Structure 1
C-alpha cells in the first residue's frame, strides 16, 4: 500500500511539472520566436521493492522520473510587418545578443535602434554582428537587411548580423526574456539559417494542442488524487481494525 502511495505521489510531481510547462507555453503564444517545450518523463523500476520468494512474485514498482523538457525547434509562422528593422529567422539558426551575463541566443528579430544608433532588441540588448555591435547613424536612410544578415544603408554596408547554430540545440537552457544560454560554443550558421527582412517569426505554440494537454493533465491529476485518497482511507480502516483485534 505504501508503494502505491509513493507511485501516486511521483505521478503527481510529474503532472505538476507538466502543468508548469504547458502554462509557460500558453503564456508565450504571442511571443515572437518563442519555441514550445515538451516534458520528458522516464519510467523507473525500483530494483529492491519486490520479493520473489512468494508463490506469486511481486511486480516491480514503477515510478515516474522527470527527465527535463525538449525544445521544439519547428518553424513558427512568418508574419510580414513592413518594418525594415524586423527580421524573421528561417532554418535552425539563432541570433546572438550581448547581455550583462554574456552572449545569449534568440529567435526574436524585433529589433530597433537606441539613442546611440546601436541595433538592439526590445529589451535593449545589443545585436551582435560578425564584428561586434552594429551602429546605424540617425541621418542614414534606406536601411535594409539581406538574407545573409548584411545590414546596409545609403552609406553602404554597416555590418552583418551574426547567425549561429548548435551541434545539440536541446542543450540550450532558457535564460529569461525569450533568450537561451549555452555552455558550448556555437558555430556559424552558413546555409542552415537565413533572414527575411520586414517580417517576424511568431511563436510555434499551438494553442489547441496545449489546451488539450492542459485538460489531460488536470483529468489525470484528479484521478491520481482520488486513488491516493482511497488508499489513505483504506490504510486508516486497516489500522482501526488491527487496533480492535489487539
Structure 2
C-alpha cells in the first residue's frame, strides 16, 4: 500500500511539471520565434526485495522520473511584416545577440535601430554580425537584408547578421527574453540557415494541441488524486480494524 502511495505521488510531481511546461508554451503563443517544449519522462523500476522468506516473488514497483524537456525545433509560420529590419530565420540556425552575460541565441528577428544606429533586438540587445555589432547611420536609406544576412543601404554593405547552428540544439537552455544559452561553441550556419527579410517567424506552439494536453493532464491528475485518497481511506480503515482486534 505504501508503494502505491509513492507511485501516485511520483506521478503527481511529473504531471505538475508537465502542466508548468504547457502553461509556458501557452503563454508564448504570440512570441516571435518561440520554440515549444515537451516534457520527457522515464520509467524507473524499483529493485526487488532480496528477502527469501516471501511466499510469492516480490513485484517491481514502477515510478515516474522527470527527464527534463525537449525543444521542438519545428519551423514556425512565417508572417510578412514589410519592415526591412525584420528577418525570419529559415532552417536550423539561430541569430546571435550580445547581452551583459555574453553571446546568446534567438529566433526572434524583430530588429530595430537604437539612438546610436546599432541594430538591436526588441529588448535592446545588439545583433552580432561577423565583425561585431552592425551600425546604420541615421541618414541612410534603402536598408535591405539579403538571404545570407548581409545588411546594406544605399551607401553600401554595413555588415552581415551572424547565423549559427549547434551540434546538439537540445542542449540549449532558456534564459528568458526569448533567448537561449549554450555551453557548447556554435558553428557557422552556412547553408543550414537563411533569412527572409520583411518577415517574422511566429511561435511554433499549436494552441489546440496544448489545450488537449492540458485536459489530459488535468484528467490524469484528478484520477491519481482519487486513487491516493482511496488508498489513504483504506489504510485508515485497516488501522481501525487492527485496533479493534487488539
Hey, what does 2:30 align to over in structure 1?
30
Secondary structure of residue in 2 paired with 1:126: coil
> Does the alignment pair 1:95 with 2:102?
no
Any idea what the Cα deviations from partners look like across 1:184-239, whole Å, max 9, x if unmatched? 11000000000000000000000000000000000000000000000000001111
Hey, what does 1:153 align to over in structure 2?
153
Hey, what does 2:186 align to over in structure 1?
186
Hey, what does 1:127 align to over in structure 2?
127
In 1, are the aligned partners of 2:48 and 2:59 still within 8 Å (CA)?
no
1:48 deviation in Å? 3.9
TM-score by length of 2: 0.98
**Cα distance change, pair 50–209 in 1 and its aligned pair in 2 (3 A):** farther
Distance in 2 between residues matched to 1:109 and 1:13, nearest whole Å? 36
Distance in 2 between residues matched to 1:35 and 1:155, nearest whole Å? 36
TM-score by length of 1: 0.98
1:57 deviation in Å? 1.5
Hey, what does 1:109 align to over in structure 2?
109
Hey, what does 1:232 align to over in structure 2?
232
Distance in 2 between residues matched to 1:108 and 1:64, nearest whole Å? 35
1:52 deviation in Å? 6.3
Distance in 2 between residues matched to 1:38 and 1:49, nearest whole Å? 35
Distance in 1 between residues matched to 2:124 and 2:240, nearest whole Å? 65
Q: What pairs up with 1:195-210 in 2 under 5 angstroms?
A: 195-210=195-210
**Cα distance change, pair 44–50 in 1 and its aligned pair in 2 (3 A):** farther
Any idea what the Cα deviations from partners look like across 1:95-138, whole Å, max 9, x if unmatched? 00000011000000000000000000000000000000000000
Which structure 1 residue ranges, 5 or more long, are not aligned? none
The total of aligned residue pairs comes to 246
1:244 deviation in Å? 1.1
Distance in 2 between residues matched to 1:4 and 1:49, nearest whole Å? 16
Hey, what does 1:166 align to over in structure 2?
166
Distance in 2 between residues matched to 1:46 and 1:242, nearest whole Å? 29
Which structure 2 residue ranges, 5 or more long, are not aligned? none
Secondary structure of residue in 2 paired with 1:205: coil
Hey, what does 1:60 align to over in structure 2?
60
Distance in 2 between residues matched to 1:202 and 1:139, nearest whole Å? 31
